[in-house]
Structure formats: structure tokens, C-alpha cells
Structure 1
Amino acid sequence: RIVGEDDGGKLFTPDEYEEYKRKVLPTRLQNRLFVSWRSPTGMDCKLVGPETLCFCTHRYKQHKTDFETIPQQRPIALPCRVTGCPCRAYHYVPLNGAQPIRCRCKHFADQHSAASGFACNTCSKCSGFHSCFTCACGQSAHAHDTVVETKQERLAQGKPVGQDVSYAAMGGLTGFSSLAEGYMRLDGSGVGAPSVEALDSPVMSMDHPFLKAFQTSSTSPETLTDAGTSTQVSSLRRPEEDDTAFFGRRYQDRV
């Protein structure tokens, strides 16, 4: 995952690998680009990863993702590095299940040219790819934009950037939740993982019942005086219990 497609399919020697790391990793850590598919409301409906397909049908990791100096012009173009591909900038296009979405001309996205304008290769009436597909966020697909931005630009918007990693073509992935669609992520604020202080803070009465149940599980039943809390602890499986013992104890509690 560190080298990615940079070895051209030929395995680096140990010396070449060390030289590659010495040259590329500092630049990659400093100049990482975050790629997302953003709705008009500002939600990142899709965070692009190394295996995410472009309109040209090649993956994000097959595009230029490392820059010694970040370009000043916006939007930042990430051209495809596959020989003969006319794609000049990474452009995410969603899938309808497992198949490409259709254009207004009724042809699939992969039946259009990846060159600028996205003209249809099958018919002459199409003026350029334009889909009526609707994203799960409720906005149409053509209203979304593929956004390429720096770490500083994302921080200025309050969006997560995760930890600095040396892996190639990570795009917008910052954690496990990045694999989910925008409307499904629990962290709607975009601030990322909670701080250590927040995780270590005591569970209050206004917190989620799930947190309160697990908070009380660490307290011995002998020290509990509240009947409701004792019932919550009793309903939890103990580490040494098998299924028979657990369900038998739960039955006795109800009797």
C-alpha cells in the first residue's frame, strides 16, 4: 500500500524501496490530497479511496495522487496514469447497485468518453453525460461535485482529516466510517474521533442507554442499590457463561 502503482508492476529491490521511501514519504505526508463527492448541502456523500472507480473506469490509485508541490489552481486535476486513457482529471461517478448509472441518452456511463465533455460513444444525440440518478442524500447526481482539497482546506471547513499516513492514494478515507455513505455516518459534525477527555468522561443521565448499560456492567452487583440498574446488569452476559447458563439465569431472574 505504500508503493501502490509507482513500481510499474516490477518489484523494487531493498535499496530501491528504501530510496523510494526516503524520497516520497515526507512529501506524501505533507501534501496529501483529500477527494470526496460532495452534495450541494456540503455533505461528503462519498469519500474516495484507492479502489474507487473514476468515470474513465480506472481506480483512484491509478491516477496521479502525489505532488511535490500542491498546484495553486482549483479544482486540482488528478490525471489518469494508464497508458492511452484520455482522462485528465479524476471524476467520481456513482453506481446503481453493481452497474453504472445511465445518462439521459439511455446509455451507461462507461459507454461515454472519459475525455472532457463526456460525449457518448454510442449515439450522436448526446451532448455530454448527464444522469437523472438521485443520490441517497436526496440530491441529483449531476448536482454533486468531485472535490479535491488539502488538509488545511478541510480543517477550515470542520471536516475530518484523520491521522497522517504513508499509504498511497488514500484519498478522503480517514477511518472505518469513511466507507459508509455520507447520510449513514454517525459523525455528522465532521470533527472526527472524540478526544480522550470525552471518552474518559463519566456517563451522565442524558447519555445514550447503550452507554449507561455498559457503564453499569463494570460495577459489581453487590454495590448497586438501584433496582433498575441492577436489572440492567443482570441482563448482561458474564464472561464465563455459556448459552445454557446465561438463559437459565435470565429465566430464574424473571421467575
Structure 2
Amino acid sequence: MAAATSAARCKGKGVALLLLLVLLAGTTGTSSAQLCTSFYSHSCPGVYDAVRSVLQAAIAREQRMGASILRLFFHDCFVQLGGPSWDVKVGRRDSRTASFSGANNNIPPPTSGLANLTSLFAAQGLSQKDMVALSGAHTIGLARCTNFRAHIYNDTNIDGSFARSRQSVCPRTSGFGDNNLAHLDCQTPTVFENNYYKNLVCKKGLLHSDQELFNGGSTDAQVQSYVSSKGAFFAHFVTGMIKMGDITPLTGSNGEIRKNCRRIN
């Protein structure tokens, strides 16, 4: 009964923020010099159960929510879709100086080549191995036509029939169908597994930056290893997510807990 009451109290106080990014600070918590998995163990012990139930309901209504949460975590640094699990470190605070242009400068665009992808990840302390593993998050979710148009019309390292099928929802001319969507993983778009890498080997990566991971370069062997072993992909993905969560976190009195996630207090 006490645990249930605690969970309800925490849910009412902080689940709106935690739903957007489970990994950020909630509404309560003590100062801490680093992130840890037990950050809320005393102040809000029922937080994980509360958040999990709301996330599951949200994903049941809209399966894209799972991909959106993963992307939000990536931009700041579970779902019933399968995939690995791990203990998430929490206690991260929101920045008071968040910059849209700064984020765009640090996040690889879908037109990136392998060298640029590797460089941008390295700038955040993530290896090329981390990059390839984390790119597997594209096993779920969708992309806008404007982000894959050039790849399906101009690139040669793409399966012809796959390109034509995507052209049917993404006209060549800019300004037409820009917001039309296509699945990043055309085989099993709502299941978190290793088909993303199988698509790359078949030259069916939706984004130019996806297909760059298997294009005769230094990452081909790693992609092939994930095709052969879903377990290896899951293990490396978890390692990469934990490393990404540890990128320059704001903790303790640094940063803030936003009342509205879209703007500073």
C-alpha cells in the first residue's frame, strides 16, 4: 500500500516531464555530483513504475512514441517493442542555455557521410563502434520525405525497387510532399531488432547517412556482425546509450528543472 501510494504521488508530481524524457530530472531529488540509477530511490521510489505505465499507454496509442523518446534522449545528450533493457542513470538537469542552432551543429544531418558521422560522434566522446550501434535505433520510427529525398533520387548505393517504392510517397520536387513519412525500417517498423542492419546490407537504408554505414567503408564489418547476431547489437546498443547518457550532464545545482520542457524557466 505504501509503495502504491508513493507511486501515485510521484506520478502526479512529475510524470508529465518524465514522459517526455525519462532520463532527465523529475520534480524532486537531492543534489548529486553525478548521475546514478538510484537517484530517486528515497525521494520518489515509485517513479519508474509510474512512468512505465504512462509510456506503455502512450505507445499503445501511437507506436511512433517509442522512437520519439529515443530521439529525444539522443538530442539531449521503453517500450513494448522488444529490444534490450538496462538501468537508466537519472538526475540530469535541463540546460538554461539550450540552443536550437547549437543542437543542429552537433547532431549529424541525414546527408552526412561516414567521415562526418564519425567525427561528430567522436566530438561527444563516442567511438565509431558506438555510432554504428546507436544508429540501430533507426529500427523503429519514421523519417520525413525532405530528409531522404536526395538519397532515393540521386544516390547510386540504393536498391532500385526500394528507391522507386519510396519515390511513390516522396515526389522529386522540393515543396511537394516534404512532410510525407516513410518507415526507417521497412521490414518490421514497430519491432526493435536487427533488421535495420539487414536492410543496409541489401542497400535499403532510407537515409543517406544510414547507408553510409554499409558502403564499402570501415564500418561494414560491424554492420555484418549485427546482421549475424542480434545479441551483439543489443549489447553494444546498451553500452552506447549508457555512454551517451553520461555526456556532460548537469547535476546538483547546475541547470534547472523546467516547468515547461520547451523553454527555460
Calculate the TM-score normalised by the size of structure 1: 0.20
Q: Give the structure with higher Rg (CA).
A: 1
Higher strand share: 1
Higher helix share: 2
**Relative contact order: is structure 1 or structure 2 higher (C-alpha 8 Å, sep ≥ 6)?**
2
Calculate the TM-score normalised by the size of structure 2: 0.20
